[in-house]
Amino acid sequence: MKELTKAEEQVMQQLWELKETNVKGIIEKLPEPKPAYNTISTIVRILENKGFVDHQKAGKGYIYFPLVSKEQYKKKFMKRLISNYFQGSFKEMVSFFAKEGKMDISEFEELMNDVKEELDQNTEKPS
């Protein structure tokens, strides 16, 4: 799976939220100043070429929908981020954010509880 540019990610965020829409629907959800129709149309075609989006004909236009879920992209992106910037270590990443003052103790404890719950769920064996 390829990485998204900032503009592509902005469009994908709208598609993930809306589930399916036309170019005009994407533009309506974007902040001011609104980009040109042709700009968003081009980005959507790039996303189709990358395999993130597909379309179906609707009258004279097209309805676009994501082929890659936000969760799938997030997993790939986070794995790449941790691998490229934190030597593959989740601990290194958490340490970085704690040192940068981006995480306080209560957030750290909440994160650890969430990770523990997730690990417990993944290791439970069916009866």
The pLDDT score that the predictor gives to residue 63 is 98
Please give the Cα distance from 48 to 35 (Å, whole number).
19
Rounded mean pLDDT, 36-51:
97
Q: Domain segments of the chain: what residues? A: 6-66, 86-123
Please give the Cα distance from 126 to 105 (Å, whole number).
35
Q: Are 4 and 52 in contact (CB under 8 A)?
A: yes
Structure-block tokens of residue 98: 């704690």
Between 94 and 18, the higher pLDDT residue: 18
pTM assigned to the model: 0.73
Percent of the chain with pLDDT over 90: 55
Mean pLDDT of the chain: 89
Of 64, 60, 48, 36, nearest to 4 by C-alpha is 48
Q: Is 6-66 in CATH node 1.10.10.10? A: yes
Q: Tell the residue number behind the tokens 């040109």, with chain if given.
A: 36
Please give the Cα distance from 14 to 27 (Å, whole number).
9
* 53-91 residue pLDDT tens: 999 999 999 999 999 999 999 988 888 888 888 888 888
